[in-house]
Chains A and B, each alone.
Chain A
Amino acid sequence: MSQESLIELRDLTKTYGKGDAAFEALKGISLSISTREYVAVMGPSGSGKSTLMNLLGCLDTPTAGSYVFQGIPIEGLSKDQRSLIRRHAMGFIFQGFNLLARTSALENVELPLLYRGYPRKLRQQMAIEALAKVGIGDKARNTPAELSGGQQQRVAIARAIVTSPGTLFADEPTGNLDSSTTHEIMELLRRLNEDFGISIIMVTHEDEVASYAKRVIRVKDGLIESDLQTRAYLAGQPTAH
């Protein structure tokens, strides 16, 4: 199982606003993440972890510093080019699921393939496979309103992996779910990482959720506070399990 460089950050900085009102959300982050890793990013609110995720997901551009993703420097890319990277190499899941309402699960999962210009039959086929992979192949025709929170998040995950991206970005994926559903979803993500080799970068504020990852990076005040293997991280936590 060879690993290559997935993400290389050098002094990544993000400042919002100008002059006196300027706010440095990230003050110079440097780190490396390889393929097949499962990383949890944690930190209090206002720490900059959301900003970091947005930059990693190419949804935003850094003010300074460099970000190389799979060997491609991101800073010089145009908005369109960043869209293409998201389309081909990344999958996203959010706390609020962010599915299109009044649209079937199948059509939701097909959405990234639509933008890739795949023909209808192929799209449907790939979408059904993705839904099966996450365990809700039978809910293909249902709309989000007809699905439970856990089921909706599964649809979102199916959508995120339908294009077989190398990397999954998860922003508080279980924030809206109860504990048993949380466990199911976390198991699913773990399976995707271990069995299918998908790299996962996940933001969470719960140690319980972070324990599913293999590496925990803590961010505070725009800087990295700690970067440990999960076991080591959990061992150092005041509230022991």
Chain B
Amino acid sequence: MRAFLTMLGVVIGVAAVITMVTLGRGATEMVKSQISKLGSNLIVLRPGLGFSRGSMSAPQFSKADVRAIQDQIYGVKSIAPVDTHNVMVIYQQIARATDIQGTTPEYFAIANWKIAAGRAFDAADVSKQAAVCVLGETVRKELFGRDDAIGQSIRIGNTSAVVIGVNASKGQGGFGEDLDDHIMLPITTLQRRISSKRSNQNINQVMISGEDGYPSASIVADVTALMREQRGLGNNLQNNFTVIDARQIAEAVSSSTQVMTSLLGAVAGVSLLVGGIGIMNIMLVSVTERTREIGIRLAIGARAREVLLQFLVEAVTLSSVGGVTGILLAYGLCMNLAKAVGAPFLFDLKINLIAFMFSVAIGIIFGFMPARRAAALDPIEALRHE
């Protein structure tokens, strides 16, 4: 019983360290995968400054801007303009307001959308201003339920379009928004039939996919310079647009969760230290209680270092068993917590080994002083002890 209580400090310490680090890594992975849902090497150009959902007053982008970027910026793999409007769509008795995104076929690859049924629209559809659309899963489910959506005609605003495809579901985004609540159609179609914008500056987002391996920061800098030039912004004027580098954001967020993980791990490490102190405490008590026994061993012919070793081994055994128990406890905790939160459970062998070695080291370090005290006892004195 006493051994169990002594070990408890180490058990909890080891379990805490491993759990913190493992869950932290799971969280980091979850964040990274959320961001990769949005598209890899993604750079987004938006009007106005800041993250607001398209400041309506700031100047939007034109086809000329898109072409300029495509022609002049190095490292651009593909580019797609996006014009988004929130419009009511109707199918039979069901009506729903959703985001209508007018764009080009490149958008699907850039933003990592896969087709689940039917097909995406192509360049021909764009040039023909075809009245076709691709539904997001949420819209499809709401309008069509179990019926087949492909080939049906739905009403979008004051025009209609035929459903030619359905996007595969992505679920929730990093900010909790429903990524599947949208309808995509050719930008030409949208601008002719739905958009009320009269000017040729009617693109409210430009999505750019960078070449693999090419530094996204360079693309961001080049696009910024180009747009400033396009808009005649002198040196003393701010940007009236924003260039968002998704990869940089991903790295920033993941590195901040990593810092958090390290911090939590360090705090848990402190508890492990406290566990070590607990072991030292009990070993000291044990030495005092067993003074007579130590005297007998010394009298019979045990050398000082043999007594030292005996008590050291006891301390290390306590801490190691505590370490293994902590590892098992952490395994159980992590598995259940990860399932509850929906984060992936990544078994990191490295942290488990480190934590175990740490627990052994704790036994050696905190067991040494009491063991040395035992070995230094005078046998005659010790034998007289109660």
Pair from one complex: yes
* A interface residues (Cβ-Cβ under 8 A, vs B): 54, 57, 59-60, 79-80, 83-88, 90, 92, 94, 98-101, 111-112, 115, 159
Docked-complex contact A92 and B303, CB < 8 angstroms? no
A88 → chain B closest CB, angstroms: 7
Residues on B with beta carbons closer than 8 Å to the beta carbon of A100: 293, 296
Residues on B with beta carbons closer than 8 Å to the beta carbon of A80: 303-305
Residues on B with beta carbons closer than 8 Å to the beta carbon of A112: 300-301
Most chain A beta-carbon neighbours within 10 Å: one of B296, B300, B306: B300
Given A98-B292, A98-B296, A100-B293, A87 and B383 contact (CB-CB distance below 8 Å): no
- Chain B 290-311, CB within 8 Å of chain A: the 1/0 string? 0011011111111111100000
Q: Is B39 an interface residue, CB under 8 A from the partner?
A: no
Contact of A94 among B297, B298, B301, B383 (CB under 8 A): B383
Contact of B301 among A54, A86, A99 (CB under 8 A): A86
Residues on A with beta carbons closer than 8 Å to the beta carbon of B383: 94, 98
Residues on B with beta carbons closer than 8 Å to the beta carbon of A87: 300-302
A53 → chain B closest CB, angstroms: 10
A83 CA / B379 CA spacing, docked (Å): 11
Most chain A beta-carbon neighbours within 10 Å: one of B295, B296, B297: B296
- Please list 19 pairs of residues, one from A and one from B, whose beta carbons are closer than 8 Å in the complex, sorted by A's number: A54-B380, A59-B379, A79-B304, A80-B304, A83-B301, A83-B302, A86-B300, A92-B300, A94-B383, A98-B295, A98-B299, A98-B383, A99-B296, A111-B300, A112-B300, A112-B301, A115-B301, A115-B306, A159-B300
Residues on B with beta carbons closer than 8 Å to the beta carbon of A54: 380
Interface residue count for B (Cβ, 8 Å)? 17
- Chain B 267-308, CB within 8 Å of chain A: the 1/0 string? 000000000000000000000000011011111111111100
A114 → chain B closest CB, angstroms: 9
Docked-complex contact A84 and B293, CB < 8 angstroms? no
Residues on B with beta carbons closer than 8 Å to the beta carbon of A111: 296-297, 300
Given A59-B379, A98-B383, A83 and B303 contact (CB-CB distance below 8 Å): yes
B229 → chain A closest CB, angstroms: 86
Docked-complex contact A83 and B296, CB < 8 angstroms? no
A78 → chain B closest CB, angstroms: 10
For residue A60, which residue of chain B has the nearest CB? Answer: B380
A54 CA / B298 CA spacing, docked (Å): 13
A120 CA / B282 CA spacing, docked (Å): 30
A57 CA / B298 CA spacing, docked (Å): 12
Residues on A with beta carbons closer than 8 Å to the beta carbon of B293: 100-101
A30 → chain B closest CB, angstroms: 23
Interface residues of B in 22-61 (CB under 8 A from A): none
Docked-complex contact A88 and B296, CB < 8 angstroms? no
Residues on B with beta carbons closer than 8 Å to the beta carbon of A59: 299, 379-380
For residue A171, which residue of chain B has the nearest CB? Answer: B383
A51 → chain B closest CB, angstroms: 9
Residues on A with beta carbons closer than 8 Å to the beta carbon of B297: 111, 115
- Chain B 242-269, CB within 8 Å of chain A: the 1/0 string? 0000000000000000000000000000
Docked-complex contact A86 and B299, CB < 8 angstroms? yes
Residues on B with beta carbons closer than 8 Å to the beta carbon of A86: 299-301
A-B pairs with the 6 shortest C-beta distances?
A87-B301, A86-B301, A83-B303, A98-B296, A80-B303, A112-B300
Contact of B300 among A60, A79, A101, A115 (CB under 8 A): A115
For residue A156, which residue of chain B has the nearest CB? Answer: B296
For residue A116, which residue of chain B has the nearest CB? Answer: B301
Residues on B with beta carbons closer than 8 Å to the beta carbon of A60: 380
Residues on B with beta carbons closer than 8 Å to the beta carbon of A159: 300
Residues on B with beta carbons closer than 8 Å to the beta carbon of A98: 292, 295-296, 299, 383
For residue B301, which residue of chain A has the nearest CB? Answer: A87
A92 CA / B383 CA spacing, docked (Å): 12
